[in-house]
Structure 1
Amino acid sequence: MQIMMDYQFARRSNMDQEICNRSEPSEPLNVPNSVINKWQNTVNTMAKLMDVPTGLIMRLNKHDIEVYVSSQTEGNPYNPGDHEHFCGSGLYCETVIRTNKMLLVPNALTDEHWCNNPDVKLNMISYLGFPLTFPDGEPFGTMCVLDNKENTYNDNFIELIKNFLLLIESDLELLHYNKILGEENKLLSDYIDEIQDLREIVPICSCCKKVRDEKGFWQHVEHYLEKRTSAQCSHGLCDECAEKLYGKETVMRIKKRAEEREKERKKESKAQN
C-alpha cells in the first residue's frame, strides 16, 4: 500500500507546482563544482548511513528531470546526466515535485499505483523522497533514496534526510541570491557605462544637428542616443517649430482643445470615484 505523508517544512509553499504548463522553462541554476562535490559527499553519506544502494539529488532541467548527483555506492544503477521528460514520466520524483510533498513507497511491487513505474525496471522498488526548492518556492528538484528491497524507512531515516535536505537548500538559497545580486550588479554597470558615454564631449553639426560617432559617421541624434543608451526617442514638435509650420493661431486652438479635453477627463475621473 502506498504511503504518502504531508511533510512540509518552514519556507515551503502549499501551492501545487504547475511545471507542465510552462511554455518557457527557466534556465537551470549554475552550480559551482565545489558545491557539487559537497553534495556528492552528502548523498554518499546518506546512502551509507541508511544502508541503501542509491541516494540522489534530482534536478529539473527545462522540460526534463535529470540525475544531478548520484551516490557512489554499490548497486546504484543511476548515473549523473540520466534524464527523462518530466511530465508524464511516471517517476517517483515527478509526484514529489508536483505535490511539493514527501513521498514514501515501501514496496512498489505490492502497490498498484507504482508497480509499473520506470524505476521498478531497475529493481528500485522502494522510495523515500523530498522536494528541493528555491527560497521563492520554485522547485529545483528532489532529494531521495531508493532500495532494491522493501523498506519502510523509519522516523530516524526521515529525520536524517530532512537535515541533509536543509543543508542542500541552504546552498541553493545562497546561489539563488548570488545570481540575483549578479544580475542587479550587471544592470548597475550598464547604467554607469551609459552615463559615462553621455559625459563625453559629443560633436554635433551646427547646421543639421547630426552627431558624429566614434567611427566618424554622422547620425541623427535620436539614433546616436538609442545606440549608446537604453533610451528610446519619440518625435513631436516644440511650440516654436509648430508655430513656424502651422501658424500661431492654429497652435493656440490645438492647445486650447487639448486643455479642454484634459479638464473633461479629470471631471469624468472624479465623478467615477
Structure 2
Amino acid sequence: MINKKIEITVPKDVQENWQQIVDILAQVCELPAALIMRLRAPDIEVFISSRSEGNPYHPGEKGSFEDSGLYCETVIKSKNKLLVPDALVDKHWKNNPDVKLNMISYLGFPIFWPGEKPFGTICVLDVKRNEYSTVIEQLMLKFKNLIESHLELIYVNQYLGDKNRRLTDYLMEIQALRGLVSVCSNCKSIRDNEGVWHPIEHYLINHPEADFSHGICPECMKKLYPEYTEESYQPFPQDAEGSPRL
C-alpha cells in the first residue's frame, strides 16, 4: 500500500540560503531578530533564526499555535502583513508572549506553499519602538517571494518524485500480474499469453521474471481426464423433432 500523504522537507542547502536571508535582514536593518517561522499544526516553530547579537529565539523552539497570542498567529490567519510599532502602547498586543522577551515591535509577512497553504512567516522584531521603513518592507517582500519560489520548487520536485514512485510501483504490479502464467500440474508445461503450451525449460529461458499458477495442458487432460475432453463429448441422440431421446 502506498502512502498518499507527502511529507515535504526543506533540503539543507535551501535552509542554508534562508539562514543567509535572515542574517542579512538582521544586519542590514540593524535588528536583534529576523526569523522564518513554520506552522506545523498544532504547533508553530522557529524554523530559521538570525545569528545576531541579542536574538532570544532559537531554531527548533515551538509552541501551541491556536490562541497563542503571537504576532505570527495573526499574520498566518489573516494572510496579511502585520506591523506593530510598539506593543507596549497597543492594548491588543501589550500582553503578547513576545513582550516577555522584550520584543515590543514587529513586522511580519505570511509565507505560502503553492496553492496558498500557509507555510509560516518571515518577520523581524526589535526591543524598541520601530515603525520599519518602506525600504525594510520592500526588502522583506523580496525575500518572501524568493522563499516562496523555493517552496514551489521543493513542492513540485517532491510531489513529482512521489508520483513517479507510485507510477513505478503500479507498473511493477502490472508487470507482475502479466508475468503470472499457468503451469500444467502434471507435465509442467507452461501456457503463454497466446494460449500455446511450451516445455518449462524453454519458457524459463525467455521469461525468467514470470510467476506461476497451476492449470493443466490439453495433452495431459486427454490422458488423465478423457471424459472431459471435446473428443469424448457425446451428445444425446435426438428424435425427428430435435428433442433428446433418452
What TM-score, normalized to structure 2? Answer: 0.72
Percent of counterpart pairs with the same letter?
53
Residues of 2 paired with 1:201 and 1:45: CA distance? Answer: 61
Match for residue 90 of structure 1 among 45, 69, 79: 69
Counterpart CA distance in 1 for 2:126 and 2:37 is 16
Indicate the SS of the match to 2:51.
coil
Matches for 1:121-140 after TM superposition, within 5 Å: 121-140=100-119
Choose between structure 1 and 2: higher strand proportion: 2
Alignment CA distance shift 1:63-1:28 (3 Å):
farther
Query: Offset at 1:28?
Result: 6.0
Most deviating of 177-186 and 146-155: 177-186
- Paired position in structure 1 for 2:90: 111
What is the one-letter code of the residue matched to 2:102? N
- Alignment equivalent of 1:197, drawn from 164, 173, 176: 176
Q: Between Structure 1 and Structure 2, which shows a larger proportion of helix residues?
A: 1
The normalised TM-score by structure 1 is: 0.65
| Counterpart pick for 1:34 among 13, 20, 42 | 13
Instruction: Tell me how far 1:105 sits from its aligned partner.
Output: 0.1
Q: Would the alpha carbon gap of residues 156 and 28 (structure 1) be closer, same or farther in structure 2, given more than 3 Å must change?
A: farther
Measured on the aligned residues, the alpha-carbon RMSD in Å equals 2.2
Counterpart-to-counterpart distance in 2, 1:77 and 1:156:
25
Structure 1 residue 201 displacement after superposition? 4.1
Residue 145, structure 1, aligned to residue 124, structure 2: yes
Unpaired segments ≥5 residues, structure 2: 187-208, 215-246
Which amino acid in structure 2 is aligned with residue 154 of structure 1? Answer: S
Q: For residue 36 of structure 2, what is the aligned residue in structure 1? A: 57
Structure showing greater relative contact order (alpha-carbon pairs closer than 8 Å, 6 or more residues apart): 1
Aligned length, in residue pairs: 187
Does the CA-based 8 Å contact 1:27-1:61 persist in structure 2?
no
Unaligned runs of 5+ in 1: 1-25, 208-213, 220-273
Rounded Cα–Cα distance in structure 1 between residues aligned with 2:153 and 2:183: 49
Deviation at 1:65, TM superposition (A): 0.3
